[in-house]
């Protein structure tokens, strides 16, 4: 460590990567000495990050568990031990990721079969253990209190200080499903704040950032939202049952008002509003949206692009935090009533209602069309895009 070329590192704004282990922040196989030596890597990563960031980027990597036999000090009564103990798989990273599931199955085939490895730890052996500190605070010599990043694991445990409890981006993107069944576990204001704090980095036209969110928790308001969901959902279901594209703006419906009014709405369309932990209602200030397609002879689509990116970021961030939800729009058919219910000003549009909570089941496989089915080269009649 003393051999670190500090001046050069700072002058070149270089980076330091120290290699630790899964055992740098976890107990597993290997015993006390092994784990102590690996934990000893974590301290320098944190301290160097504290002293050098942001001039020098400091990170630690923590290679994951390999099923192997570890040698201990025989003088201390430690012979050869297995690296994988019962329960190791529960501490493995990457909630619900297929890669993590495969690793879990390799480690403990019988234990994992009926159960997800789920905790909120990095799964591919790349746990980040370092973090940066504020440059001004460092310069002034003031040492801020270490920030406890409270992250709730699916088991309700609180994350460790300084660990970044995040999943791989592509794993999040490929496994963020529409969640409608919730366990009833709370999604705290703190976790929701973390979700929104990350979601707000979504783009908007001209970076006007017209999105505003009403965070609904009150039972009476949720029940009112259920009532407002029913008319739109009735027509949606009726059209679907009649083989029409529900609510599409191109082909008019052949159904009568009476037929629509007599259609049942499945519980799955309203229950999430009541069972979710929290129900954000997302709005957008239309004065801040450049609707470039507003004069075209079709329904506008561009306006939504200034509000749905943050909405989708909310769902990605929720997934990352071990939660989930669904974009719902049925209630928006009754927008004037939603606006009255929540006191939303005239110039705003309601984009969606997003029940969020802890999923009963984490889906890891989504059904989506292949790239070749959605992309083509150069022109509409060009060949399907593929590599
Ligand atoms: C614009 C939009 C509107 C949606 N509206 C609703 C809705 O009102 N109610 C609902 O249950 N799901 C709604 N969804 C969720 C979709 O049904 C869901 O994303 C889709 O079926 C894919 O589900 P999966 O991710 O579980 O595969 C909406 C999704 C989008 C993007």
Q: Residue 204 pLDDT more than 90?
A: yes
**Does the CB atom of residue 311 touch ligand 1 within 6 A?**
no
Q: Residue 238 pLDDT more than 70?
A: yes
**Does the CB atom of residue 328 touch ligand 1 within 6 A?**
yes
- Give the atom of ligand 1 at the shortest distance from the alpha carbon of 176: 25
* Omega before residue 54 within 30° of 0, cis: yes
- How far apart are the C-alpha atoms of 230 and 81, rounded to whole Å? 61
Give the model confidence (pLDDT) of 335-361 as tens digits.
Answer: 999 999 999 999 999 999 999 999 999
Report the separation in Å between the CA atom of 196 and the middle of ligand 1, taken as the mean of its atom positions: 20
- Give the atom of ligand 1 at the shortest distance from the alpha carbon of 177: 25
Domain ranges, ordered by start, for the chain: 6-166, 178-361
More confident residue, 276 or 152: 276
**Does the CB atom of residue 269 touch ligand 1 within 6 A?**
yes
CATH number attached to the domain at 178-361: 3.40.109.10
Report the separation in Å between the CA atom of 84 and the middle of ligand 1, taken as the mean of its atom positions: 41
| Eight-class DSSP state of 88 | G
CB 183 within 8 A of CB 156: no
CB 63 within 8 A of CB 3: no
**Does the CB atom of residue 178 touch ligand 1 within 6 A?**
yes
Q: Residue 152 pLDDT more than 50?
A: no
- How far apart are the C-alpha atoms of 328 and 281, rounded to whole Å? 10
* Residue position matching structure tokens 């496994």: 175
Determine which residue's CA is closest to atom 7 belonging to ligand 1: 328
Average pLDDT over the chain reads 82
3-state secondary structure of 51: helix
Least trusted range by pLDDT, from 10-14, 31-35, 199-203, 226-230: 31-35
Residue 105 — very low, low, confident or very high, per pLDDT cuts 50/70/90?
low
Task: Tell me what pLDDT residue 25 has.
Answer: 83
Give the model confidence (pLDDT) of 289-341 as tens digits.
Answer: 999 999 999 999 999 999 999 999 999 999 999 999 999 999 999 999 999 99
Whether the pTM exceeds 0.75: the reply is no
- How far apart are the C-alpha atoms of 338 and 224, rounded to whole Å? 9
- How far apart are the C-alpha atoms of 371 and 175, rounded to whole Å? 17
**Does the CB atom of residue 330 touch ligand 1 within 6 A?**
yes
Other beta carbons less than 10 A from residue 222's beta carbon: 20
């Amino acid at each position: 460590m003393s051999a670190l070329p500090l001046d050069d590192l700072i002058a070149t704004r270089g980076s330091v990567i120290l290699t630790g282990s899964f055992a740098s922040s976890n107990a597993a196989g290997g015993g006390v000495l092994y784990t102590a030596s690996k934990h000893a890597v974590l301290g320098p990563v944190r301290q160097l990050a504290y002293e050098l960031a942001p001039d020098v980027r400091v990170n630690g990597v923590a290679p994951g568990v390999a099923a192997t036999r570890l040698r201990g000090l025989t003088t201390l009564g430690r012979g050869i031990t297995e690296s994988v103990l019962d329960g190791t798989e529960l501490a493995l990273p990457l909630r619900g990721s297929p890669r993590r599931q495969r690793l879990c199955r390799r480690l403990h085939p019988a234990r994992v079969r009926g159960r997800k490895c789920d905790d909120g730890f990095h799964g591919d052996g790349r746990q980040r253990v370092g973090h940066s500190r504020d440059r001004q605070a460092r310069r002034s010599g003031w040492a801020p209190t270490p920030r406890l990043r409270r992250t709730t694991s699916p088991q309700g445990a609180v994350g460790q200080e300084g660990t970044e409890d995040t999943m791989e981006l592509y794993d999040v993107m490929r496994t963020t499903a529409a969640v409608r069944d919730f366990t009833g576990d709370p999604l705290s204001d703190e976790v929701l704040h973390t979700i929104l704090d990350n979601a707000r980095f979504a783009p908007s036209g001209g970076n006007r950032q017209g999105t505003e969110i009403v965070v609904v928790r009150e039972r009476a308001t949720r029940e009112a939202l259920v009532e407002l969901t029913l008319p739109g959902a009735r027509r949606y279901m009726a059209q679907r049952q009649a083989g029409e594209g529900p609510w599409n703006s191109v082909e008019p419906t052949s159904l009568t008002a009476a037929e629509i009014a007599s259609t049942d709405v499945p519980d799955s369309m309203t229950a999430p509003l009541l069972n979710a932990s929290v129900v954000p209602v997302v709005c957008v200030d239309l004065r801040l949206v450049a609707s470039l397609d507003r004069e075209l002879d079709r329904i506008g689509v561009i306006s939504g692009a200034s509000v749905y990116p943050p909405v989708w970021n909310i769902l990605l961030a929720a997934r990352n935090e071990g939660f989930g939800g669904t974009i719902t729009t049925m209630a928006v058919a009754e927008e004037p009533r939603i606006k009255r219910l929540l006191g939303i000003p005239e110039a705003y549009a309601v984009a969606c209602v997003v029940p969020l909570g802890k999923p009963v089941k984490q889906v890891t496989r989504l059904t989506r069309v292949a790239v070749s089915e959605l992309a083509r080269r150069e022109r509409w009649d060009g060949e399907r895009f593929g590599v």
